[in-house]
Structure 1
């Protein structure tokens, strides 16, 4: 079955949904959408670094995404305007990455694949990386779930309870970097943040507890991946953008149903 590229693409999409959806709940709760943008845009610079040093693309993207996330966290603690900081870093990292890729001699690079994903070209080795990364992200979130929730709701309460909000932020930073590294092959650097935010935002009206929201987000992310792939085959459209379009359609349905759910 793994010889079938459609089956591999479906597994890759499910793996990314499994990692991105529950992490995306914390992105939504903490209003970190721009943080996700800046980290994912830095992935292109990681691709350039990997190609220039002959490292695996996963290693290059993970290293640069983690460095960007740590830089943002450090500068934010110095009370630099977060919106301005994230806007500057996101676009600068993307532009620098594109320039760096163009300067690499002797290497032909499919920039569109790294920007918008190439899920239909996923290999068995890529699947191993994606699912290993997804397992790591889920393990981190399950291990620190209660502490992450407490520090998200109230940093002061977390500190009083013996929980370090800075440590929990670092755990989210690591999880974000790993998710970016495994998702770039599926949806590309420009669309990773969408897979973090949209399923979680779609799940919010249907959930009564944080755990339920995370579970529903995984289901919505999985439906977006499988539905987007089906739409890409039916209408001959790019697979990565089709997955995000499907997620956006589900969000529109959720937004339309939200008033009805509140009344009931």
Structure 2
């Protein structure tokens, strides 16, 4: 079954949707969209380092994405507006990554595959990495779910409950870095933030509880992956962007449903 490239692509898309769903819900609740974007943009520098040091792409992307997320966490609240800080770091990391790639002599690299994903080229070993990362992210979110919700609702309430908000922020940071590292092969660094935010935003009008929203986001993300792959096959369009386009259409649909209910 896994000899079929479309089957591998579908499984890869579902794995990324599973990882992105609960994390994307917190990104939406905490208004961390730019945070996710900055972390994803930094991953291209991790790709360059991985190729230069002959390391697995996952390891390099994870290390740099985690370093970027930690840097943002440390620098926030030190005299810089958050949107300015994220804008500087995100675009600087992407630029340095692209420049670093240009210095790699003797190594063939398809930049478009890393910028916009190459889900149709996913291998069996890639599937192991993607699903391993997805299980790890879901496990982290399930383990700290109540504490993360409390810290998201109110830092004062978290302190009163004996929860350290900064620790929960670090857990989110780690989960975000893992998600970026596993998703880079599927949708690329420029579209990872979209897969984090759009399914969760689409699920919000249909959900009454945080748990419902996370489950609905996973369903919408999975549906986007399957339908996007089918559209890419039928219309001969890029797979990664097609997946995001379907997610955007679903977001528009749920927004219309919400407006009709109002």
Task: Note if contact 1:205-1:261 (Cα within 8 Å) is conserved in structure 2.
Answer: no
The CA deviation at 1:77 is 3.8
Asked if 1:49 corresponds to 2:56, the answer is no
3-state DSSP of counterpart to 1:42: helix
Deviation per CA, 1:28-83: give whole Å up to 9, x if none.
00000000000000010000000010010000000000000000000014242100
TM-score computed with the length of structure 2 as normaliser: 0.99
Unaligned stretches of 5+ residues in structure 1: none
Measured after TM superposition, the shift of residue 138 of structure 1 is: 0.1
Q: Distance in 1 between matches of 2:107 and 2:159?
A: 50
Distance 1:261 1:53 in 2: 55
User: Which residue in the other structure is 1:129 paired with?
Assistant: 129
In the other structure, the counterpart of 1:230 is 230
Distance 1:79 1:168, change over 3 A: farther
Query: Map of 1:21-170 to 2, 5 A cutoff?
Result: 21-170=21-170
Match of 2:76, SS state, is helix
Q: CA deviation at 1:117?
A: 0.3
For the residues of structure 2 that align with 1:96 and 1:255, how far apart are their CA atoms?
38
Taking structure 1 as the reference length, the TM-score comes to 0.98
User: For the residues of structure 1 that align with 2:77 and 2:166, how far apart are their CA atoms?
Assistant: 10
Q: How far apart, in 2, do the equivalents of 1:139 and 1:227 lie? A: 27
Contact 1:20 1:195 in 2 (8 A): yes
Q: Distance in 2 between matches of 1:59 and 1:164?
A: 29
Deviations 1:135-192 (A, max 9, x none): 0000000000000000000011001110000000000000000000000000000000
Structure 1 stretches (4+) deviating beyond 4 angstroms? none
Asked if 2 retains the 8 angstrom alpha-carbon contact of 1:25 and 1:200, the reply is: yes
Superposed displacement of residue 255, structure 1: 1.0
Note the alpha carbon deviations across 1:191-239, whole angstroms, 9 max, x for none.
0000000000000000000000000000000000001000000100000
Aligned residues, how many?
Answer: 262
Corresponding position of 1:239: 239
